[in-house]
Chain A
Amino acid sequence: MSTAVADSHDVHDHHGPEKGIKRWLFTTNHKDIGTMYLIFSLVMFFIGGLMALVIRSELAIPGLQFVHPEFFNQMTTMHALIMVFGAVMPAFVGLANWMIPMQIGGPDMALPRMNNWSFWILPVAFGILLSTLLMPGGGPASGWTMYPPLVLQTGNAFPFLIFSVHLMGISSIMGAINIIVTIINMRTPEMTLIRMPMFVWTWLITAYLLLAVMPVLAGAVTMLLTDQFFGTSFFLAAGGGDPVMFQHIFWFFGHPEVYIMILPAFGVVSEILPTFSRKPLFGHDSMVYATASIAFLSFIVWAHHMFTVGMPLTGQMFFMFATMLIAVPTGVKVFNWVATMWRGSMTFETPMLFAIGFIFLFTIGGFSGLMLAIVPSDIQYHDSYFVVAHFHYVLVPGSIFALMAAAYYWLPKWTGHMYSERAGKLHFWLSTIFVNVTFFPMHFLGLAGMPRRIPDYSTQFADFNLVASIGAFGFGLSQLIFVYVLLTSKKGAHASGKVWEAPRGLEWTVPSPAPYHTFNEPVHVDRTVAFPQENP
């Protein structure tokens, strides 16, 4: 199959992109679609970020100052939905689109028209979701977890919430299918599976996770829809249904979803560390096995989100032990990264800084995750700000830092110019300082007894909330530096094909900026260039 596709593209060898809006509407080019995904996710990142700032403004001091509790709940709900489905997930799909074909030596994604469709569904989905804020009764306010019966009290926004989630799911499923088919079929012949770069490996596993769980989410929200409009009682106790069943189904989706947002981040970090340590990734194969183990375990730990719903003791024990086990492959990953840096020859360009920041801060999020696995303590932490601190540590200096690292790492390959290293470093340092100022005090708030998702709080929580709010504004403003970097990205010096001193991987064998079509024919490659895990 890969040969056939390569042949048909030969005809268009020097065929450039169309001009104007049609290029973007009808494009089937993986690079164009990747760019659109990345820009879309950045826009969503700022919209979701503005909502976070509304939340932090209200929480800066005790008492209600800016918004009503109803609107506050809409903000927490929309912030989460937009950041999860609109910012982090599409950003990783955008990276996959750009980089996977170039890393495996394939000409494009295997299913280019579906690729176009899976992107263009997203603006529609989020247009619908955002429009609910203007509807009578406002947007959804039941949390992104959409627990019944509360979610059934949503106003006119309810069906729009469900349909937008359906659309996001369809987009993700199509993206996942495309990535799997591309990786399996489009590799250049010398690229055996185990030789694939870690970013490709982590995405292959992530795509299977998506394929497995997005339909489960679709099923869960469809049952909500029929409970609301068609008289079913899947989750309504009055009709013989079970509100807790929704939580089981939701988290069967929701826990693998967590790894969908972090496994590609692991991949990115595993690409960047060897480049700037000038040393191969330590334990490439064990990294693959660790990723696969994490993916497997992610399916059998879902109820650790639900230790307070009243489960049988044996059930609680099973989910506690399974959850603790995740620390083992995750630990292997962290140890391997440290071993990659060990006795390397490191330089600290912006991508490397973000990758190192990722390891430090993601590990802190991992520690609080381990603490949360211990059931009796979890009963105290559950639904408190401790949990908010935990998942923001793994998502912001985790997933988001990895995305930033990836953007800086591959930006010269995309634009053909070096970005401003000064601005990039400033972006890193300010982000790192403020992300900790924002989220570290939340551990303390949760331990002291502050529940999450409340618009106002008792005065004893005032101090750390003010600190967190100041940090949030600092973090939000720091992200504008990234916009500056992007806007000035074509002003820097011309980048060579290699860009960095010692990168390995096929993407560095093509010129910068990468031509509109790359690898139209299967390539024979110098192994030391192509396969990062092999010694130079």
Chain B
Amino acid sequence: MIRKTVTGLLGLFWAAAASADWEVNMPVGVTELSAETYSLHMMAFWVCTVIGIVVFGVMIISLIKHRKAAGAVPAKFSHSTLAEVIWTIIPVLILLFMAVPAAETMIKLEDSRKPDLTVVVTGYQWKWHYRYQDQDVEFYSSLARPSLEARTKDAGIDPFTVDNYLLDVDRPLVVPVGAKVRILLTSNDVLHAWWVPDLAIKKDAIPGMVNETWFRAATPGTYRGQCAELCGKDHGYMPVVVEVVEEAAFNEWVASNGGTTDVTLASNQSGLE
């Protein structure tokens, strides 16, 4: 039994290493704001890295040079007002340098005016409900069958054989590429949070409240995320899948779901950005 587990683990480790899934960074994503978020993240990362190199560098030099074993004799100084002032002011300046671009992006994130499409998203334990406000289409979106069968304890199905294990749904949210999609979020029971990393949005779904966020995806594709606020036993099993398609395909999809497609997307008039 133990040997089987160990070989199994080693095998998994090998398989995992071979499939090169060692993703270490945030996705750049497919919206203007996801790219801005990514660059803010990288800016903060590099600022921290540089500070880290300086501080740790000084510490390491000190650890090498100022050892008793290396014959170091302790100095007697115990304070320096000048040094204190310098290392108070420099961090303040660095923080200002970081705060300004962050604030600019925040203003854009909050600007959900003039959407092309509005979807009301309601969290349930443990699935999502999508209602297209003007297209008269609504449906529930739950964990896809293959994941559902493999997720239980002792299911006997290797998760590695399931496509998009735990990140696939029966019916994804479909939106047109280039359209400004406004998401109105609420919940039917407990708190949930709607998160798609490639769209760089995460917002809580709260019972009795309507929260607002938006995105404009620039590239067609399927983008996957998950509920991000603990919502009970199946919190790990309510993925979010957004399919971004060309506008014609979107209209077709709406029609095939019995919706009305006579609502003209504003982006038709303003041109795709």
Interface of A toward B, CB cutoff 8 Å? 60-70, 73, 141-143, 147, 149-150, 153, 237-238, 241-244, 277-286, 308-310, 313, 316-317, 320-321, 324-325, 327-328, 331-332, 334-336, 338-339, 341-348, 356, 359-360, 363-364, 367-368, 370-371, 374-377, 379-380, 382-384, 443-444, 447-449, 451, 453-464, 466, 533-536
Contact = CB atoms under 8 A, between A and B. Distances in A.
B135 to A, nearest CB: 25
Contacts of A346: 62-63, 66-68, 72
A374 B23 contact: no
15 contacts: A150-B231, A242-B208, A279-B75, A282-B79, A328-B95, A342-B62, A342-B66, A343-B72, A343-B77, A375-B106, A447-B25, A447-B26, A449-B27, A463-B16, A535-B76
Interface in B33-88: 33, 36-37, 40-41, 44-45, 47-48, 51-52, 55-56, 58-59, 62-63, 66-69, 72-80, 83-84, 87-88
A514 B15 CA distance: 58
A451 B92 CA distance: 32
Given A285-B79, A344-B75, A244 B55 contact: no
A196 to B, nearest CB: 16
B229 A238 contact: no
Interface of B: 9, 12-13, 16-17, 21-27, 33, 36-37, 40-41, 44-45, 47-48, 51-52, 55-56, 58-59, 62-63, 66-69, 72-80, 83-84, 87-88, 91-92, 95, 98-99, 102-103, 105-107, 109-110, 150-155, 157-160, 162, 164-167, 189-191, 193, 195, 197, 200-204, 206-209, 211-212, 225-237
Contacts of B62: 338, 341-344, 346
A377 B235 contact: no
Contacts of B52: 363-364, 367
B106 A371 contact: no
Top-9 shortest CB links A-B: A237-B208, A454-B236, A367-B48, A343-B75, A62-B159, A280-B78, A310-B211, A448-B23, A64-B153
Nearest to B84: A286
Contacts of B75: 279, 342-344
B78 to A, nearest CB: 4
Contacts of B106: 313, 316-317, 320, 375-376
A377 B37 CA distance: 5
Given A371-B48, A375-B102, A455-B236, A65 B153 contact: yes
A458 B203 contact: no
B43 to A, nearest CB: 8
A325 B56 CA distance: 22
Contacts of B155: 63-64
A243 B44 contact: no
Nearest to A70: B233
The residue among A317, A376, A535 with the most chain B CB atoms within 10 A of its own CB is A376
Contact of B41 (A277, A348, A374): A374
Contacts of A339: 80, 83
A370 B63 CA distance: 26
A310 B83 contact: no
Nearest to A66: B153
Contacts of B157: 63
Contacts of A149: 189-191, 207
Contacts of A310: 203-204, 206, 209, 211-212
B41 A380 contact: yes
Given A244-B209, A310-B212, A346-B68, A284 B78 contact: yes
Contacts of A277: 66, 74
Nearest to A447: B26
Given A243-B191, A286-B84, A459 B160 contact: yes
Contacts of B237: 69, 456
A345 B230 contact: no
A305 B232 CA distance: 20
A169 B78 CA distance: 39
Contacts of A363: 52, 55-56
Given A309-B204, A377-B37, A379-B37, A459 B99 contact: no
A61 B79 contact: no
B26 to A, nearest CB: 4
Nearest to B196: A449
A172 to B, nearest CB: 25
A367 B37 contact: no
Given A457-B166, A535-B76, A321 B99 contact: yes
Contacts of B12: 61, 462, 466
B207 A69 contact: no
Nearest to B157: A63
Given A64-B153, A346-B66, A367-B52, A308 B166 contact: no
Contacts of A66: 153
B11 to A, nearest CB: 10
A445 B117 CA distance: 32
B92 to A, nearest CB: 6
B232 to A, nearest CB: 6
Given A367-B52, A384-B228, A308 B204 contact: yes
